[in-house]
């Protein structure tokens, strides 16, 4: 049975320079794909052209509601237990994120809690977080490992990420982020740890657990030379890469990632002109993370206008994690992207649909077009710019349709 969503307003995002709005429109779904869309007045003739009998189509009246592509959260760290509220209080008393990390807090504290949790605890906490994202229109989520930092616990995290997608009927893309921090058993031996990270990767990949490979290239993370080793291991397996780059300083990580054809570089507050040029040349997406910018009280903005001028695609994500972006509201991220980064509502929304799909290497979603996946979000708003305008309060999602 095919399903026709009638009397809707469609924001197709095609052409990509505009919202691509269609009023009093309909959209046909067949086999989890968009088979047709257009004006209501054109449907009768189109149904005949498609060879469909009237009784073979289930019609669902949207009563004028807005249909958009479902949202895509292309940067999250959903698999962990515990929280870091104490560190939030420490920062308010003057400690910096870097000082807390060097004192044994930060990522390492979440690693200890995650290692101590059993699989069911990890799965249930991740499911709760994923459901929160879905409640605001998300149907595709990238989930990174990186709170295990041992072969056993990284494998556990990636398996649980796969189970989240299976349990909820959404797409989950997994990213191997063992190069996230230095675990205690490798204290003062970062090169040895990177050797281990590279050694684990082929085994985890052979289990079908890894879609992409990431690293934290930063003074409190790993050097560009160490990151290169991780990327070379990924390249040997044909795995795409992405990078936490230029968040706290400019180490040239974005240019390094671009030299490996990275799908995305994320954070980018300290991104240089040479990094932008390298990303442009490689077709690498800039993923901006307003939640982390806000929560860490950053003052240096990513070079938004320079990214625009260079034509580097800009995506937006929640970066949900317990230390620097404990948010589960993609709609709040859209608002923050506009208020902090001065993106237009169209840029912000495209950043969590069209451009986010590119950041994950997915070509079959992010717009409403024939042949695309029927991952749809139905909203109780008149215009999609209203999804970026408010912050807090009740959300306007009416229905999430995930194919």
- If asked whether residues 131 and 241 sit together in one domain, one would say yes
Q: What is the CATH number of the domain that holds 54?
A: 2.30.40.10
- If asked whether residues 23 and 85 sit together in one domain, one would say no
Per-residue pLDDT, 91? 86
Number of domain units in the chain: 2
Per-residue pLDDT, 176? 99
Residue pair 243/214 in contact (Cβ under 8 Å)? The answer is yes
- If asked whether residues 228 and 79 sit together in one domain, one would say yes
- If asked whether residues 114 and 41 sit together in one domain, one would say no
- If asked whether residues 275 and 389 sit together in one domain, one would say no
- If asked whether residues 90 and 127 sit together in one domain, one would say yes
Domain that holds residue 347: 71-359
Q: d(Cα 289, Cα 319) in Å, to the nearest integer? A: 6
Q: pLDDT tens across 261-289, in order?
A: 999 999 999 999 999 999 999 999 999 99
- If asked whether residues 138 and 104 sit together in one domain, one would say yes
Nearest to 265 by CA among 239, 283, 292, 238: 283
Considering the entire predicted model, what is its pTM?
A: 0.97
- If asked whether residues 388 and 242 sit together in one domain, one would say no
Q: Which residues of the chain have pLDDT under 50?
A: none
Q: pLDDT tens across 16-26, in order?
A: 779 999 999 99
Q: d(Cα 19, Cα 13) in Å, to the nearest integer? A: 5
- If asked whether residues 108 and 125 sit together in one domain, one would say yes
Per-residue pLDDT, 97? 76
HSE value, Cβ hemisphere, 13 Å, CA-based, for 168: 28
Residue 176 sits at the vertex; the CA angle it makes with 171 and 182, to the nearest 5 degrees, is 145
Cα separation values, 317 from 24, 207, 287, 310, 322, Å: 31, 28, 7, 21, 15
Q: What is the CATH number of the domain that holds 119?
A: 3.20.20.140
Per-residue pLDDT, 403? 87
- If asked whether residues 79 and 173 sit together in one domain, one would say yes
- If asked whether residues 75 and 64 sit together in one domain, one would say no
3-class SS string, the chain:
CEEEEEEEEEECCCCCCCCCEEEEEEEEEECCEEEEEEEHHHHHHHHHHCCCCHHHEEEEECCCCEEEECEEECCECCCCCCCCHHHHHHHHCCCCHHHHHHCCCCHHHHHHHHHHCCHHHHHHHHHHHHHHHHCCCEEEEEEECCCCCCHHHHHHHHHHHHHHHHHHCCEEEEEEEEECCCCHHHCCCHHHHHHHHHHHHHHHHHCCCCCEEEEEECCCCECHHHHHHHHHHHHHCCCCEEEEECCCCCCCHHHHHHHCCCCEEEECCCCCHHHHHHHHHHCCEEEECHHHHHHCCCCCCCCHHHHHHHCCCEEECCCEECCCECCCCHHHHHHHHHHCCCCCHHHHHHHCCHHHHHHCCCCCCCCCCCCCECCEEEECCCCHHHHCCCCCCCCCEEEEECC
- If asked whether residues 15 and 79 sit together in one domain, one would say no
HSE value, Cβ hemisphere, 13 Å, CA-based, for 171: 27
């Amino acid at each position: 049975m095919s399903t026709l969503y009638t009397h809707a307003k469609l924001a197709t995002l095609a052409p990509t320079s505009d919202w691509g709005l269609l009023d009093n429109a309909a959209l046909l779904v067949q086999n989890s794909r968009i088979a047709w869309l257009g004006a209501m007045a054109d449907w009768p003739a189109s149904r005949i052209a498609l060879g469909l009998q009237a009784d073979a189509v289930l019609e669902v009246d949207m009563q004028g509601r807005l249909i958009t592509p479902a949202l895509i959260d292309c940067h999250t760290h959903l698999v962990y237990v515990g929280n870091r509220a104490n560190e939030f209080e420490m920062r308010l008393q003057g400690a910096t994120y870097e000082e807390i990390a060097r004192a044994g807090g930060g990522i390492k504290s979440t690693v200890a809690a995650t290692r101590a949790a059993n699989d069911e605890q990890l799965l249930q906490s991740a499911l709760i977080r994923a459901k929160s994202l879905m409640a605001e229109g998300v149907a595709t989520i990238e989930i990174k490992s990186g709170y295990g930092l041992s072969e056993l616990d990284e494998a556990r995290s990636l398996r649980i990420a796969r189970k989240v997608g299976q349990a909820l009927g959404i797409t989950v893309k997994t990213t191997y982020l063992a190069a996230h921090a230095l675990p205690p058993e490798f204290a003062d031996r970062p090169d040895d740890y990177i050797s281990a990270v590279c050694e684990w990767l082929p085994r985890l990949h052979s289990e079908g657990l890894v879609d992409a490979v990431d690293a934290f290239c930063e003074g409190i993370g790993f050097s560009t030379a160490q990151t290169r080793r991780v990327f070379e291991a990924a390249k040997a397996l044909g795995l795409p890469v992405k990078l936490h780059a230029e968040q706290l300083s400019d180490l040239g990580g974005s240019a390094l990632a671009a030299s490996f054809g990275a799908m995305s570089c994320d954070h980018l507050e300290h991104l240089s002109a040479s990094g932008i040029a390298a990303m442009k040349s490689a077709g690498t997406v800039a993923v901006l993370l307003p939640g982390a910018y806000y929560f860490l009280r950053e003052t240096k903005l990513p070079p938004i206008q320079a990214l625009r001028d260079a034509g580097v695609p800009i995506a937006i994500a929640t970066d949900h994690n317990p230390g620097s972006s404990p948010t589960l509201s993609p709609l709040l991220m859209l608002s923050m992207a506009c208020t902090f980064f001065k993106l237009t509502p169209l840029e912000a929304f495209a950043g969590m649909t069209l451009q986010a799909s590119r950041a994950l290497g997915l070509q079959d979603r992010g717009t409403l077009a024939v042949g695309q996946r029927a991952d749809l979000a139905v909203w109780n708003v008149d215009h999609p710019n209203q999804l970026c305008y408010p912050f807090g309060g009740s959300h306007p999602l009416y229905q999430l349709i995930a194919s």
